[in-house]
Amino acid sequence: MPQVLKEAVRERILAAALEELAAHGYEGASMARIAERAGLGTATSYRYFAGKAELFDAVVTPDLARRFEALLDDRIAALSRDVLGGDPRGDDAGEAMLRFWIDNRLAVVVLLDRAQGTAYAHYAERFVSHLVDGTVAQIRAAHPGVRVRAPARFVLTRIFENTRRLLAAVLLEHAGEAALREAVEAFWSYQVAGLKGFTEHVLEGRRREG
């Protein structure tokens, strides 16, 4: 007689897998703890998923990763409103990004900081590169001819590396929407002020060069 698999049980396993992956990363996650989180026996979890690789692929999908990158690009472009005085689209782009984080909180934590050992092991590095390259492009677009020299780019990279870690920590810590919004908005207020200062530093360097 064929096995009867229940969708509700499958969803419990997926939710438990996200919790386990966010807490311990892919390499540290175990099927036994995932089953325990789901309130099931380990053997039962294997009836639904062959192992943690299959579970990872079910909760962190290529579409989710692509949407995250697309929203990130929009958010970088929209920062020109606050930092560079450009197109005022920041509220819409920021809200879309925040909504995505709220709806996919633990999957985003995994992508930002817990995907070692998977096809997304370098996603965190790409996230930082996206932020650095996008910010530099926005500065250059707003101020043609300006150069972001290697020492300044080095600092910007380290700033966004800290951004990656902080966002992962914020998302992991705050499960409720209201608290998560408050934490992210507090971070963004700090980030915008910092990017304004960084841009002014770059422009001051150009003025000194004459």
Residue 29's CATH number: 1.10.10.60
Distances in Å between the Cα of 41 and the Cα atoms of 6, 32, 36, 48, 51 are 15, 8, 7, 12, 14
Per-residue pLDDT tens digits for 116-137 = 999 999 999 999 999 999 889 8
- Number of domains observed in the structure of the chain: 2
On whether both 97 and 36 belong to a single domain, the answer is: no
C-alpha–C-alpha distance, residues 111 and 123, integer Å: 6
Q: Which domain holds residue 50?
A: 7-57
What is the gyration radius of the CA atoms in the chain, in angstroms?
20
C-alpha–C-alpha distance, residues 37 and 68, integer Å: 27
The pairs formed by 181-190 with CB atoms below 8 angstroms and a separation of 24 or more are: 181/98, 181/102, 184/98, 184/101, 188/94
Domain membership of residue 121 (yes or no) is yes
pTM above 0.85, yes or no: yes
On whether both 65 and 164 belong to a single domain, the answer is: yes
Indicate the DSSP class of residue 144. Answer: T
Per-residue pLDDT tens digits for 151-196 = 999 999 999 999 999 999 999 999 999 999 999 999 988 888 888 8
C-alpha–C-alpha distance, residues 182 and 172, integer Å: 14
Domain membership of residue 2 (yes or no) is no
